[in-house]
Amino acid sequence: MRATNTLTLGENRALYIGELPATGWHCHASPVLLIGLSGRFAVHTTGGVVNSCHSALIDAGVEHVFDPCGERVALMYLEPDSVEARQLRPRFRCNGPVIFDAAVRPVSSSTYSRHLRSFDLQSLLSISLSEAAVLDWRVENSLRHLRVPHGAPVGREGLASAVDLSASRFNHLFREQVGVSFRSYRVWSQVRAAMMGMGARINLTDAALQGAFTDSSHFSRTFRKTFGMTPSSVLKPLKELTLV
């Protein structure tokens, strides 16, 4: 692995490779695969439970603390409508919302890096993936719409009306399919839009506008709640930001 911090952002996935500080308590609206590239790390979950592991699969909506313990790590986020995330949903239902040591250990760094950067989940995991579950088309359309940058946050009522559902029924369906509320995912999508809008130039003010935040302070507060870290602690050490 190259000794640099890199971030790769795609339409329905993201990959961070590098070093990070320990986070605060947080949860996000996307499942994540955490991998220790140079050693073990710790995951704190509610109830005071701490697990030391080489990898962890964490479902959307799970509150946790991630402590890299000074190790170099990879964090792979998968949007709920991605094939990989849908393949994981049956696994989470059977094994619980956090699955520890689910990834194979790196043998060849170049091969492992290739699997990471191509988001080849099947080659990275030691557990088999299920057939991709089918998302309700109304939720799938809403997820795609939310990821398109808008001048203001997208309203639940408008999306519900567009698919002939009441706001309450739409929210119930959304949470059932995605694992988090519509509001939580909308905030997540704003953070994604902000980061996608940065391109190669890290500018928090421009990013805030791209994500329909009122200002950079609003973006920073939301980023911290979402990832348990300040945006500067993640973005400023970056040596490479790639959009795919």
How many domains, the chain? 2
Give the per-residue pLDDT at 1.
43
- End-to-end alpha carbon distance in the chain: 20
CA 2 from chain centre, in angstroms, equals 22
H or E element at residue 2:
none
- Asked whether residue 100 falls in the same domain as residue 185, the answer is no
Which stretch of 44-53, 55-64, 109-118 has the lowest confidence by average pLDDT?
Answer: 109-118
The dihedral formed by the CA atoms of 60, 64, 70 and 71, expressed in degrees to the nearest 10 = -30
Give the per-residue pLDDT at 133.
83
CA distances to 77, 185, 228 from 208, rounded to whole Å, are 21, 17, 18
- Answer left, alpha or beta for residue 101, where phi above 0 means left and psi between -120 and 50 means alpha: left
Summarize pLDDT for 71-101 with one digit per residue, the tens: 999 999 998 888 899 899 889 989 999 999 9
Contact of 163 with 138, CB cutoff 8 Å: yes
Q: What CATH code is carried by the domain that includes residue 200?
A: 1.10.10.60
Amino acid symbol at 237: P
In which domain, by residue range, is 181 found?
137-228
pLDDT cut 90: percent of the chain above it: 52
Domain-embedded: residue 150: yes
- Asked whether residue 111 falls in the same domain as residue 176, the answer is no
Give the per-residue pLDDT at 201.
61
